[in-house]
Structure 1
């Protein structure tokens, strides 16, 4: 995969380049101090993944990301947690907070590689074959997998695909998040952001920005926050 780095701080660009080279075999084909320079480069070069700062002069990372083609993946890199929810609205692969930990970079890159394969023309489009009161059947790589609804921790959406996470497996199917949400029990599964549906039974804790399911952290979108607090707490918590 080919990637570029966009950050107005020279030291941050150097550190990100070192981290990428240390944990992956991504090909870094460009490094830019501002979005307009990166956009000019993209007009004549193909890029799979962009490591993108947010607070930059002239054009912010969020504004830049909104102009990118759908098949260009973005990992935001920033010192400010306040943009996390907005980044997920732009279908960002991940959101890395500075100073960035090596293991988080590796996790984000692995996720980007998985999605790139998923979105490629060669990837088989898996389908949900059927669902009953307790489980659904998903066809994947010429096999049929039974997934009990009770085992699903959360479902992540990316464009026209969803990734279903259970305790011991991850299955990908060609379907948007809204459609699959309609096929699973609505008394157990709740949409908490544009990109996530969670199983309420797996919630360990939550705050005003995230829901925590064991070691998994799911962002809580502003549009969905009020319903989440009302449904999960029975209206007894004050979200202000």
Structure 2
């Protein structure tokens, strides 16, 4: 991962946002995927815009995208794209959805961008560097006690069977629980406004970009067993601003 990669990731975010904004709160075609999640013209336009740039700038790299699948996924470097994380929010006209862009090397995300093209928030995390929020250094909040922690998750409907009860056990022990927010929640952890996010049923394109952002701000991300995340991890995720919270949350989940 190089400085050029970071600049490229931000260019991808700009291109994705330019493709998305004309569709926001406008009329557009919508359909439902096999997993019952909505997909829109904006999702496809956004990912197509990013892929077009990568085809020119990084033709040897792999790509894993939510809408257009996998290309050269066994390459040494793979870009992982979620054009609109929070499509339901986008469809409803809520501006907290975002574009997720990650670069994976040796099976580990080393670069991540959370970009919110409507409200203008952008977090950029890169291995070995501090996470930046709109150009300024971001830092997580110290909070080691679960009963004092503010935790978040997107929706009770997003948990696979059985996982919701496990989450409710953890959230019941927390100081407060915020529902909704999609990828924005992870940015809030990185900036110290939210203490943790707990989710499951995620795909690689849902969580790869989040890891460098949260960890570059001083936090930690693991699966529900407390194991570090990589490209082969299951979709169970704990993101905590204070690493000491991981054990307490995992104990409630398990």
TM-score (norm 2): 0.30
**Greater percentage in strand:** 1
Highest CA radius of gyration, 1 or 2?
Answer: 1
The two structures have a TM-score, normalised by structure 1, of 0.31
